[in-house]
Homo-oligomer: A and B are copies of this chain.
Amino acid sequence: MISFESDYIAGAHPQVLKHLCETNLEVLSGYGSDIYCKTAADKIKKACECEDAEVFFLAGGTQTNSVVISTMLKDYEGVVAAVTGHVSAHEAGAIEYTGNKVLTIPQHDGKIDPKELEEYLRGFYADQNHEHMVFPGMVYISHPTEYGTLYSKQELEKISNICRAFEIPLFMDGARLGYGLMSKQTDVSLPDIARLCDVFYIGGTKVGALCGEAVVFTKNNTPKHFMTMVKQHGALLAKGRLLGVQFDALFTNDLYFEISRHAIEMAERLKDVLIEKGCTFYLESPTNQQFIVLEDKKLELLKGKVGYSFWEKADNTHTVIRLATSWSTKQEDIDKLSELL
C-alpha cells in the first residue's frame, strides 16, 4: 500500500536518525543546555540571516503555538487568526485552555487578507465598548496554511506593517515551513520571514524529524524566563538533545531545504498525475499538500490501496481528500497512484 495520508507517516530522514545514533553515547547536560542545541540554533540564525535571533526547540506544533501565544500575550489580549487557522480550529482549544481567546477573521484559501486585518484592528479601537472586549494582542498566520497556500512577500510585508502600526507581534506557524520556502511559486525567503515576523517557527515534525519545532524570536523579544514557562507548560524535555541533534542535522548542508525541495518535486508530479486523470482540485496549492474532490465511488476503490486524509464532505456523493508528499515520497508511489486512479 502506498500512502499520501500526511507528511508525518514515516520516521525521521535517515540523516537525522544517523546523527541521533552517532551522538547517542555522548554525555550531554539536560534541558536544552547541550552543545547540539547551541550549534543547531547557530545554524538556524545563520540561515535566517538574523544573528540576533534567539532560538528554542519544542516538541510539536500545538505545543509551540500554545507556548508562544500564551507567553507573548497578556491576559486581556487574544490572538487574531483566520477562522481556519490551526490554533482556531484544530488544537482542541489549547489556546483558550491557558486563558486566551482566538479572535477570528475571515479566511481566503486559508489566508487572512491584509485589508480585512487592518479593518478589524481599526474597528476594534474605534468601538466605544472595546474595554469590555478582548484586545487583539498578536496576529497568527500559518505559512504554508492549513490548505497548503502561501502568502506572497508583498502580502507578508503588508501584514507585518499593520502589526507594527498597531504594535502587536506577528507570529508565523511554520509547521510546514520548508515546503513553503521550496515552493516553485514563492518569492518569500527565510531571511524575509525573520525580518517580517516577530516570532515564527521552523517545523521539524512534518519536515524530516521525529519531532521538534524550532522557535525563532527575531527582535530581542523572547518572553522573560521563557525556559521556566516552557517547563510550566510541561514542554521542557530532560533530554533536550533529542531536538538539538535533529535540528543540527536538518540545518547541516541544507538538508532541511533539500528534503523540502524533494517533497515539492513529488507534489508537482502528483499534481501532473491528478490533472492528467481529470481530477477536480478543491483549491490551488503550491506546496506539498494537494486537495482534490473525488466521487465517493472512486474513493471506495482506493481504500486499502492508497493512504489519504479525509478533509470534508463536498456534497452527498463527493468528498474532499488531501494527498501529501514528504521527504519519504518516492516517484514509484506516484506511478502506482496514477495506475489506480
Seen from chain A, the residues whose Cβ lies within 8 Å of a Cβ on chain B are 1, 3, 5-6, 8-12, 14, 17, 20-21, 23-30, 59-67, 70-71, 74-76, 78, 89-94, 96-102, 104, 126-129, 131-135, 205-206, 210-211, 224-225, 227-229, 231-239, 241-242, 307, 310, 312-313, 328
Contacts and interface: CB of A to CB of B under 8 A. Distances in A.
A3 B21 contact: no
Chain A facing B: main interface SS: loop
Nearest to A307: B27
Given A75-B229, A231-B91, A238-B205, A30 B8 contact: yes
29 contacts: A3-B27, A6-B30, A6-B238, A8-B30, A9-B28, A11-B241, A17-B20, A27-B307, A59-B211, A61-B238, A62-B234, A63-B234, A66-B233, A74-B224, A76-B225, A91-B132, A92-B132, A92-B229, A93-B232, A99-B99, A104-B104, A127-B312, A128-B310, A131-B228, A131-B231, A132-B228, A132-B231, A210-B242, A233-B234
A228 B98 CA distance: 15
Nearest to A23: B11
A27 B333 CA distance: 13
Given A17-B24, A75-B229, 11 more contacts: A8-B30, A10-B26, A11-B25, A61-B238, A91-B132, A91-B234, A92-B231, A96-B96, A101-B102, A126-B313, A211-B238
A307 to B, nearest CB: 7
Contacts of A239: 8, 11, 205, 210-211
A91 B66 CA distance: 18
A238 B60 contact: yes
Contacts of A90: 129, 132-133
A292 to B, nearest CB: 17
B62 A71 contact: no
A10 B24 contact: yes
Nearest to A11: B24
